[in-house]
Amino acid sequence: MTLNLKAAGTEWDAGDRSWTSTDTILYALGVGAGTADPLGELEFTTENSHGVDQKVLPTFAVMIGGNGTGQPRLGDFDLAQLLHAEQSVTLHGELPPSGTSRTSGRLAGFYDKGADALIVLESSSVDAATGEPLAETRTTLFVRGEGGFGGERGSSEPWTPPNRPADHVVTCPTRTDQALLYRLSGDRNPLHSDPWLAARAGFDRPILHGLCTYGVTGRALLHAVCDARPASFGSMSARFSAPVLPGQPLDVHIWDHGGVFMFQTRVGDTVVLDRGVLTRKN
């Protein structure tokens, strides 16, 4: 089993992706909007509430990256060895409740971590009708057992949480059926719904999607430090560090650095999203 190292640097047209107001509402519900208070986030969970204009959660940007066409083969390794390691998203403004994006993709590189490997994928999406930029994403995949090919190790930005209590701690409940709800936004990986496959991967029960934890955390950040205004949400990056079970509450710890915010998401004492950074726009 090997990585397709020759594909490094490949760029491709990832096609168009259309969505409706139903899709953006379903995504909001999938990342917990309305769970604690059904009337608390109507701008994200309804399209016809009196005096309320529908808005879109910024982390929906991870869902608009084209239709998946054109991406080169990453390798012939066992997909059971593939894990989502890191995710970042950068917004150019508020996403529309319905629309169509046109996306280009790039395989930024393969990185050798000794026994294991990292694959970095990038995307850039524009409004298909106007050409205006919508968002960029950067996705890092961890592949167990595929290192040792002599490539660069890659680098990472230094990140150390401040030596003080967090400026904000937001507790977000999750539902026991959260993964079943989130999967309706497009990620049908049975690891999150099939007990047999979850057991094969070493889990007692299906786990929550990493991008669901990411989206719940993005909601907490939006409300805590962006005044619930998607236009103020600039970029968000984080590393996935431990699995979450549906039903477990997520505690988002946020440190304010004057427009840049460091964060961790925890389940009890376990950090499940680490090295988090959010930039806010004025």
Interval 209-252: pLDDT, tens? 999 999 999 999 999 999 999 999 999 999 999 999 999 999 99
Strand order through the sheet with 260-267: 11-19, 99-112, 117-127, 133-143, 82-91, 233-240, 270-280, 260-267, 250-256, 168-172
Active site residues: 187, 192
What is the residue range of 228's domain? 5-280
Question: In total, how many domains does the chain have?
Answer: 1
Report the Cα 100 to chain-centroid distance in Å.
20
CATH of the domain at 91: 3.10.129.10
What's the confidence (pLDDT) of residue 197? 87
pLDDT tens, residue by residue, 253-268 = 999 988 799 999 999 9
- Paired tokens of 206: 């299906």
pLDDT at res. 194 = 95
Both structure tokens of 234: 């600039």
